[in-house]
Structure 1
Amino acid sequence: MSKQVDVIVIGAGQAGLAAGYHLKKSGLQFLILESSGESAGSWPKYYDSLKLFSPARYSTLPGMSFPGPGDRYPLRDEVIAYLKDYALHFQFPIVYNSHVSAIQQESGTFRIITMSGETYQARNLICATGSFSRPFIPEIDGQNDFKGKVLHSSEYLRPDAFLDQSVIVVGRGNSAVQIAIELSEVAKTTLAVHEPVSLLPQRFLGRDIHFWLKVTGVDSFWSFGKAAANSSSVMDLGGYKKRLNAGHPVQKQMFTAFNSDGVIWPDGSNEKADAVIFATGFRSNLNFLQDIGALDGNGNPLQKAGISNNVPGLYFVGLSGQRTFSSATIRGVGRDASYVVNQILR
């Protein structure tokens, strides 16, 4: 027999937990379905040295501050511990190891089916799986001929696996720059970019940039959200400009093709490489919504500000640029979760 509640939340990462906080305050009966065995979202899959580009004081979910000094930039494992503690503190009704495989809708009710055969019913559905569940690697000529290793940044963990190798990192965003700078300490590293890396100063007039974003209100500008979320500018977390200017790593215009030993640069020159790491982002992984007509032709949700355009009762939290440019971050997801839950209450 199906379990029926007011709201089902899919995903117990930062977006799902923020939704859980506001749902608990609302008094609605809800469940959070999490495909893994922990409430840490995608964070355990990220590379070991990953650090937030916003200070701890601004990197919080609603109702519980990030522990420790507020001016530091928390590392990956600190974020994982915080998310787990958050779920434990608020005692959310999370059903772990519940991977959603299909969703049906009939007479205003959603029927959620998991891979284990469990079924749930709810009048409202919040998809909180975020934007980082399906790694994207572009197709490039000759890739199948390359004898080295091709991987996505989501598979990269630490630099010691590439000691004394020749590595090319593709991309110009935060992850690409962090990984390439780290690798340049132990390997011959090249950063392949379509345009040179654009750096933003982490501090302005003695304050972290996130202070100014908050006090000016820019952090919550709705109309600013999508464009800013798509920006590839990188926060200079410490010496990035100096390192890049010194050629550690070297920046080169994106290669045009692979060959068996490496890559071919636009000027026709060849460079041997042991590995190529693509820090080229992610794509939506919401196939379970396909049957109810909630996605466009590219598999992206048809939504505005987290509200489905054509499926009543369907909502989203954690999408990049959903309402603001911080919508897919710990510091911004709480606002969107509050907005969505208020829409459900209406």
Structure 2
Amino acid sequence: MAKYYDTIIIGAGQAGLAMGYYIKKNHSTFIILEKNKRVGDSWRNRYDSLMLFTPRSYSALPGLRLQGEQSEYPTKDEVANYLEDYSNKFTIPIQFNTSVKGIQKIDETFQILTTSGGIYFSKNVIVATGPFQQPFYPDFEKHVPNNIFQIHSAHYKNPNQLSKETTVVVGGGNSGMQIATELSLDREVYLSISKKPKFFPYEMWNRSIFWWFDLLGISKATVHSKIGKFIRKNDPIIGRESKQLIDSGRIKLLTRATIWKGEKMFFEDGTFIKPKNIIWATGYYSDYKWIDIPEVFTINGNPIHTRGITTEQGLYFLGLSWQYKRSSALLNGVGGDAAFIASKL
């Protein structure tokens, strides 16, 4: 049976929940469609040692504080449970175990098809599936032989998945740095990066680095501002544990990985190693093939939008990386974008 709502939100992660919080204030009918069986499962399924680089005071959605010492850093399971508590506290309507396989627009109404066979109709659709959609691998990954263990950071759980032999982590973002740091405790670890990393401490003079970002106006920098453009090109690593290990030689830096030949991985400067384990911390790419409205996407498949608003009346995106500010894809920043979109519905 078809179901009708004023608004349908795709995804019950932090973006979808923040959106639900604001829409509920408008007293319009809405529902969130979530592919997992519980709120927070996308966090629960990430690697065991994952810890946020924002303290609890900067890791909460609008309307509900994250419990615990505010200057300390929450674990991924703590965040997962917080999101579940959030959905319960504000009684946000969610349909679980429901994956969306198609969206099209007929006249002024969106038709949403699901893998369970259910069909939904709405005036507005908010795509809140986040920036972590499909794991990205470099083209030469398919040339790595089967006797080399390889796994994307999206599927990495803990060091026990790997042999205690030479390991290379490809990609130097916060996840790549955290994983390399963890693995370096009991094996030889290399870290392949495309440019020299910049490290910021968690704290300066007993204040969170994010407190200083607020004070200096960095947190308010938008995607098109001069500061925003600079930060986007030079996004720092938060925390200096990895830097200490790099400086001491426990983590050995390599340039960008370029090709695999025989038993060797080669790098941009011509060097090579023979790893037995590879962690691809190479990020993600957007996959919106299930949205049958091609004019709102670039040739590379990325949404064309202004602060989440597309040229297609009623279609919105939320939780994208740098949607409006650096924090748009983070717990402490997505609420501002959600409030803005709610005001435009």
Q: TM-score range by the shorter chain?
A: over 0.9
Q: Which residue identity lines up with residue 288 of structure 1 in the other structure?
A: W
Aligned to 1:325: 326
Please say if residues 103 and 110 of structure 2, whose CA atoms lie closer than 8 Å, have aligned partners that are also in contact. Answer: yes
Instruction: Tell me whether 256-265 or 313-322 shows the greater mean CA deviation.
Output: 256-265
Matches for 1:169-180 after TM superposition, within 5 Å: 169-180=169-180
- In 2, the alpha carbon distance for the partners of 1:226 and 1:269 equals 32
Q: Separation in 1 of the partners of 2:268 and 2:218?
A: 39
Provide the residue aligned with 2:279 in structure 1. Answer: 277
* Count of aligned pairs between the two proteins: 342
Structure 1, residues 104-123: CA drift from partner, whole Å, max 9, x if none? 11221111110111011111
Gaps of 5+ in 1: none
CA contact (8 A) 1:230 1:321 kept: no
Match of 1:190 in 2: 190
2:139 corresponds in structure 1 to: 139
Gaps of 5+ in 2: none
When normalised by structure 2's length, the TM-score is: 0.94
Q: Superposition pairs for residues 284-303 of structure 1, below 5 Å?
A: 284-291=286-293, 293-303=295-305
Residue 226 of structure 1 contacts residue 325 of structure 1 at CA under 8 Å; is this kept in 2?
no
1:11 aligns with 2:11: yes
Contact preservation (8 Å) 2:59, 2:332: yes
1:288 is paired with a residue whose SS is coil
SS of residue matched to 1:290: coil
Residue 121 (structure 1) aligns with = 121
Q: Percent identity among equivalent residues?
A: 37
- Secondary structure at the aligned position of 1:70 is classed as coil
| Offset, 1:45 | 2.6
Report the equivalent of 1:340: 341
* 1:166 Cα deviation after fit: 1.1
What is the alpha-carbon root mean square deviation over aligned residues? Answer: 1.9
What does residue 257 of structure 1 align with?
Answer: 259
- Three-state SS of the structure 1 residue aligned to 2:326 is coil
Q: Look up the equivalent residue of 1:247 and give its one-letter code.
A: G
Distance in 2 (alpha carbons) for counterparts of 1:277 and 1:235:
20
Counterpart Cα distance in 2 of 1:226 and 1:43: 29
Q: Which amino acid aligns with 1:184?
A: S
**Matching of residues 218-233 of structure 1 within 5 Å:** 218-222=218-222, 223-224=224-225, 225=228, 228-229=231-232, 231-233=234-236
Quote the residue 1:130 is aligned against.
130
- Counterparts of 2:35 and 2:233 in 1: how far apart (Å)? 28
Q: What displacement does 1:80 show?
A: 0.8
Displacement of 1:291 in angstroms is 3.9
**TM-score normalised to the size of structure 1?**
0.93
CA distance in 1, matches of 2:189, 2:50: 18
Q: Is the 8 A contact 1:146 1:258 kept in 2?
A: no
